[in-house]
Homo-oligomer: A and B are copies of this chain.
Amino acid sequence: MDRERIGMAAREAAAVLGILSTDERNAILRSGAEALVRRSGEILQENAVDYEKALAKGMSEGLLDRLKLTEERIAAMAKGLLDIAALADPIGQVSGMTTRPNGLMIGKRRVPMGVIAIIYEARPNVTSDAFGLCVKSGNAVILRGGSDALCSCRKITEILRDAAEEAGTSKDIVQYVDDTSHDSVRELIQMKKYVDLAIPRGGAGLIQRVVTEATVPVIETGVGNCHVYVDEAADLPMAVRIIVNAKTQRLGVCNACESLLVHEKVAEEAVPMIADALAPYHIEIRADEAARAIVPALMPATEEDWGTEYLDRIISLKIVPDLDTAIRHINRYGTRHSEAIITENYSHANTFLARVDAAAVYVNASTRFTDGGEFGLGAEIGISTQKMHARGPMGLEALTCEKYIILGNGQVRPD
């Protein structure tokens, strides 16, 4: 991997891209969408190579499905780019412009980050998604996908590069690192001189590796050990509906519920209701002794269960004596992703909102709503579980920053 060449090319392209108008950036996205559809045959050919290899290697069915492209899926990628083109442009907004007593006008202008590196796994569609979000927000992007999708991702990038050129800008607004060695990831996330931000998209292993090894700024995404707390003042039928949705609507996602807390005053009634409601979905409930005293058929939970993101047909359940214990439990074992209270009590709802430390804190709704689309951001590059810069679903604005602009007429600082 030629770090200097890739880095300098990205920096140069970012400088050009950063001053294009909204219309010009949207034209690049439309050119990309058109090219993906027009050249879908080439993509399918390369995707077949990846797929055959993965099949021979014994890749699991779920992963194979994510790797596989079809005409329809390519059309969806193209539509994704057109959808991003239709979003409002965050770049150039000036906020808080005020005139200081000495006449200086000071405000903040929203600008691109510069160069963004996206590290992902064997999902070819992330290639065009990341391209769309980065280019719309005025950033050059360096992509590094998983080796199992190399041929697909490389071809998609080639087509997007050609489309950028056809739209009159530099191909290097998007580059693909086709060195599949593990070293190439580390090199990419240590290019302090050239990379302004790295975002890992994938499983917990990939994310932790990027967070640990990076020297460039990273936004940590994804892991969600999300709780639903059934308060003593909960509407129990509502609680059960929300729990079923939060656990079962989609199993393998970071905003799925992994752990239940139930107030002891309603446990006698609530625990059997929850067990009955989850039974048709074949969800195993791992519960503490107090809950098992109510429904003996539940499996026993261990300390490890409280901290586990199952992403599977398993959920943990604990009975708590009060709201304070529930909040402390969540702040101790949660991953600061999405947490919900079910209650009709005004003060309990407010206390939960104030004290739970998470990117998204809910009253009386399913944790499954933590999502860029559901939050109205239009598109999403991931869900941040860190506190710096961006928290929760990250839309276009998370890929930008603000710089101060100061307009003077000769002001100097007095002694």
Contact = CB atoms under 8 A, between A and B. Distances in A.
A226 interface: no
A409 B365 CA distance: 7
Contacts of A370: 404
A412 B100 contact: no
A244 B241 CA distance: 70
A358 B219 CA distance: 21
B18 A387 contact: no
B388 A389 contact: yes
> SS class of chain A's interface: helix, strand, loop or mixed?
mixed
A362 B15 CA distance: 19
B376 A100 contact: yes
B413 A374 contact: yes
A398 to B, nearest CB: 10
A408 B353 CA distance: 12
A104 B217 contact: no
A401 B387 contact: yes
A19 interface: yes
Contacts of A357: 111, 114, 403
Given A215-B212, A241-B412, A412-B245, A365 B403 contact: no
A68 B162 CA distance: 64
Copies in the complex: 2
A106 B391 contact: no
A303 to B, nearest CB: 16
B404 A365 contact: no
A354 to B, nearest CB: 5
A235 B408 CA distance: 13
Given A106-B376, A410-B242, A403 B15 contact: no
A378 to B, nearest CB: 13
Contact of A408 (B359, B363, B389): B363
21 contacts: A18-B354, A18-B355, A19-B354, A19-B355, A109-B353, A217-B387, A217-B388, A219-B388, A244-B412, A246-B412, A249-B412, A349-B407, A361-B405, A363-B406, A364-B407, A364-B409, A364-B411, A365-B406, A366-B408, A366-B413, A391-B401
